[in-house]
Structures are given as structure tokens and as C-alpha cells.
Amino acid sequence: MLSKYGIDLGLPFVRPIESKIYEVRAKDKSGIYRVLYFAHTDKTFVLLHGFMKKTQKTPRKEIDIALKRIKEVKDG
């Protein structure tokens, strides 16, 4: 869906988190998963970090991992 709709894809599939980081949602019988990513261009996305979500709010440590990886991508 990201490749088809690009940055215009919104809820319930994608939710902004902070500082250009977005969360894409996936669900299956074993749980709810999230992948944090940023839009490198209009239809090019860099997946930064995936995890199983167990709380309502995205844990700070998961966001911090994504922020660190954005810096690595941009510096690298």
C-alpha cells in the first residue's frame, strides 16, 4: 500500500510518530506488529525498525532506535 499511495497513505494503516517517523501497522493471529519508517522520497521508504506492539503507546526505546537509524542512513 505504501508503494501505491506513497506519503498520502494514512490511518488506519499509517500513523505519524515524530520527527518524520511513521508507523505502519500489521496484524495477524500471533499479535500486532509495527514497523517504523521514514519517507526518503515520495514513494521511497526506509524501514527503520520493526517490533511487536504490546502497549497502546509506542515505547520510547523503539522510537529512539528508529531515530538512531535515520541518522545512520542520512550520514552514511
User: For residue 35, what pLDDT is reported?
Assistant: 93
| pLDDT value at 51 more than 90 | yes
Cα 31–35–38 angle (5° rounding)? Answer: 165
DSSP structural state of residue 40:
E
Residue 24 near residue 2, CB atoms below 8 Å: yes
CA neighbor of 38 nearest in space, from 13, 19, 12, 58: 19
User: For residue 42, what pLDDT is reported?
Assistant: 66
pTM beyond cutoff 0.85? no
**What percent of the chain has a predicted confidence (pLDDT) above 70?**
95
